[in-house]
Chain A
């Protein structure tokens, strides 16, 4: 139904009529079914309540709750006003960025090998503390959030007889527009293993945990983000380590603005 029926039509309310029980029963049933705009309440209509015309304004400081979902129909849109974004609470996500050669600094391309290992970047020489630089693809940056966790996945390419004097490490930083300053976001060094065998770990994937140490807010309009990977070097170091992915954890995603 789209509307209630009148209890009596207009022409039937002339001449000081006396309500009959049917009239009063209809009034009572009508008030029973009416939405109470003052006190609120719960209703379960058997067909949708359709509000057209001038529409509805939902105001007030208390959130309007949707517990059954909302769907738009053709022509129906939800529009965000001014600076409002769809808000989310308690959301976080992790993005795994593959470390592929396409984003490696041009000057480093002769020091790595991406063709031998399609899932990572392989150091073909011992760099002796000279890192390679890798630009974090913006597809893996979540604009408008904060980086709350960083780790680097790699695997040791060759069995080692001893633990390298300097273990693999990384630094994540961001560069300001133009020839500006650079902010360190996080850094990490592989936890020292007990032996060369433990360091090799059968060539399985290992994780270098990073710690956040600086400004970690992500703004792809103002900054570009880069990773410096320093491979093992010094006594017992051997070329061949393969760096596979950078894991970026974004915490407290406040809204759903474009990334």
Chain B
């Protein structure tokens, strides 16, 4: 159906009228079906409620789309859209799985002055050819999220040492040539690999990937409008150090993703 029908036309409600039982029943029936805008309630219409004209405003504090597989579907023309006014973005509820995510960056996109080669590593990831070599890697980040940690992965090329100075890592924000470490630890944000291995074999670990979880200051919110974000790696150095370590990738963990703003 497209609309409730009139019981009588206006002109038929004359002063000499007699309301029939059928008409009273129709009036009563239709009022029971009418949506109660004051008291609310539940209705399960057998056909869509199609509201055209001036449309509908949902002005309540909470409007819910619920029920199994329920969804809002836009029309197929591609012209009917959801428009976000002002600075609105789609919000992610507190329990939404999308409020956290990880992004892995291969060190192959690193920037290094000297001391690196990537022809030797698995799939071309950088290999330190000079002990103490430094490399910078641009991180892909999630704007508006809190970056909680960065997990660095690398592999030691041979059984040696352990070196006096183990590989060091840090994460910083860069703006106008100024590096701002994102960890305040009294060492400009540099964190050496831990735990210190007991011997050369322990340091080598059979060439398996080893990792360091770099935990940043609490509450570092990514702002790509002001900063770029970088990882810095300094290879092992000092007594008993050896070249050849293979640096693989870094996985950034983000939390506090509140909405679906453009990235």
Chain A positions within 8 Å of B, measured between CB atoms, are: 3, 19-22, 24-25, 27-29, 31-74, 76-87, 102-103, 105-108, 133, 135, 137-139, 173, 175, 177-180, 182, 220-224, 226, 256-259
Q: Are A64 and B64 in contact (CB under 8 A)?
A: no
- The answer to the question of B61 belonging to the interface, with a C-beta cut-off of 8 Å to chain A, is yes
Q: Are B68 and A61 in contact (CB under 8 A)?
A: yes
Query: Binary interface profile of B, 195-214, with partner A (CB < 8 Å = 1, else 0)?
Result: 00000000000011101000
- The answer to the question of B178 belonging to the interface, with a C-beta cut-off of 8 Å to chain A, is no
Q: Are B116 and A106 in contact (CB under 8 A)?
A: yes
B81 cross-chain contacts in A, Cβ below 8 A: 69-70
Q: Are A64 and B65 in contact (CB under 8 A)?
A: yes
A175 cross-chain contacts in B, Cβ below 8 A: 106, 122-123, 249
The 6 closest A-B pairs by CB, nearest first: A55-B60, A37-B43, A40-B47, A44-B53, A59-B67, A34-B34
Q: Are A63 and B3 in contact (CB under 8 A)?
A: no
A24 cross-chain contacts in B, Cβ below 8 A: 13, 17, 19
B249 to chain A, nearest CB (A): 6
A177 to chain B, nearest CB (A): 6
A66 and chain B: residue at smallest CB distance: B74
A63 to B91, CA, bound (A): 20
CB contact under 8 A between A43 and B52, given known A58-B66, A107-B117: yes
A101 to B81, CA, bound (A): 40
B91 cross-chain contacts in A, Cβ below 8 A: 77-80
- The answer to the question of B45 belonging to the interface, with a C-beta cut-off of 8 Å to chain A, is yes
A3 to B47, CA, bound (A): 25
A19 to B27, CA, bound (A): 14
Q: Are A36 and B124 in contact (CB under 8 A)?
A: no
Main SS of chain A's interface residues? loop
A53 cross-chain contacts in B, Cβ below 8 A: 40, 60
Indicate which residue in A21, A42, A79, A137 contacts B52 across the interface (CB closer than 8 Å): A42
Q: Tally A-B pairs: CB < 8 A.
A: 341
CB contact under 8 A between A69 and B15, given known A51-B58, A106-B112: no
A55 and chain B: residue at smallest CB distance: B60
Indicate which residue in B2, B37, B62 contacts A41 across the interface (CB closer than 8 Å): B2
B44 to chain A, nearest CB (A): 7
B148 to chain A, nearest CB (A): 14
B29 to chain A, nearest CB (A): 9
Q: Are A83 and B106 in contact (CB under 8 A)?
A: no
A139 cross-chain contacts in B, Cβ below 8 A: 140
A2 to chain B, nearest CB (A): 9
Main SS of chain B's interface residues? loop
A23 to B126, CA, bound (A): 87
Indicate which residue in B4, B14, B74, B153 contacts A177 across the interface (CB closer than 8 Å): B153
Q: How many residues on the B side are at the interface (Cβ–Cβ under 8 A)? A: 107
Q: Are B104 and A224 in contact (CB under 8 A)?
A: yes
B142 and chain A: residue at smallest CB distance: A258
Q: Are A258 and B260 in contact (CB under 8 A)?
A: yes
A58 to B126, CA, bound (A): 54
The stretch that binds A, out of B92-100, B165-173, B179-187, B228-236, is: B92-100
A35 and chain B: residue at smallest CB distance: B35
- The answer to the question of B85 belonging to the interface, with a C-beta cut-off of 8 Å to chain A, is yes
Known: A40-B48, A68-B52. 15 other contacts (CB 8 A): A24-B17, A32-B6, A44-B53, A50-B57, A50-B59, A51-B58, A58-B72, A66-B74, A70-B83, A71-B84, A103-B109, A106-B117, A106-B118, A137-B109, A220-B104
Query: 24 A-B residue contacts at CB 8 Å?
Result: A22-B13, A36-B49, A37-B33, A37-B43, A38-B33, A38-B44, A38-B45, A42-B51, A42-B52, A49-B51, A51-B60, A55-B63, A61-B70, A63-B72, A65-B48, A74-B85, A78-B88, A79-B91, A82-B97, A86-B90, A135-B109, A182-B122, A226-B123, A258-B263
B192 to chain A, nearest CB (A): 20
A72 cross-chain contacts in B, Cβ below 8 A: 82-86, 88
Q: Are A133 and B73 in contact (CB under 8 A)?
A: no
